[in-house]
Chain A
Amino acid sequence: ETGVTQSPTHLIKTRGQQVTLRCSSQSGHNTVSWYQQALGQGPQFIFQYYREEENGRGNFPPRFSGLQFPNYSSELNVNALELDDSALYLCASSETGKNTEAFFGQGTRLTVV
């Protein structure tokens, strides 16, 4: 059984650019959630994908978008990067259902300069 993997681990981008972060879910998991964790803060929910469709969204602007693929892997895209987008981005996968555990990846550290 493989765990949740995210790529890249670190990334530096310039303000105004676009970025794509990737997540491979754990084997057997069909639901992926993305979180933003700023320094000194807890993770903040961005959105969740289930069966390739967005299934819940937090308070993030439309320039944060995502995709889920048939193999349940997922991408987080951020357009028009701002300095405040600098954070650790976490991906978590889980099975469908209410009482299932979410497994987190190690995160992607994004720095916007």
Chain B
Amino acid sequence: AQRVTQPEKLLSVFKGAPVELKCNYSYSGSPELFWYVQYSRQRLQLLLRHISRESIKGFTADLNKGETSFHLKKPFAQEEDSAMYYCALGVGGYQKVTFGTGTKLQVIP
């Protein structure tokens, strides 16, 4: 069975500091990994996915199959990055998506 672990419930950083939100997964096949974000009073939305290898709002994430990780990184945090971030694993052609428990990112001005 697949599992996604986000070890930090809350991550507080100062504005301008680097950010790394950790995500580890457990899956025996080829995973499809995503990061979703939920800003205050907004709906859950896709931030980025590993297959597209793109940078969104300055965030990047690299899939490390050896360490089974997909950490989300940004070199300089901004106040508008404060939100809830969920790592997710898709299997079976995305028929089933498993989410982690989420990390709340708080950027301190």
Contacts and interface: CB of A to CB of B under 8 A. Distances in A.
Interface of A: 4, 33, 35, 40-45, 48, 55-58, 90, 92, 94, 98-107
B69 interface: no
A56 B95 contact: yes
Contact of A42 (B49, B94, B96, B100): B100
B11 interface: no
B96 A106 contact: no
Nearest to A100: B94
B97 interface: yes
Contacts, number: 51
16 contacts: A35-B99, A41-B101, A41-B102, A42-B6, A42-B86, A42-B88, A42-B99, A42-B101, A45-B98, A45-B99, A56-B92, A56-B95, A58-B96, A94-B94, A100-B94, A102-B46
Interface of B: 4, 6, 32, 43-46, 49, 51-52, 86, 88, 92-102
Nearest to A44: B99
A33 B97 contact: yes
Most buried by B among A4, A42, A55: A42
Contacts of A35: 99
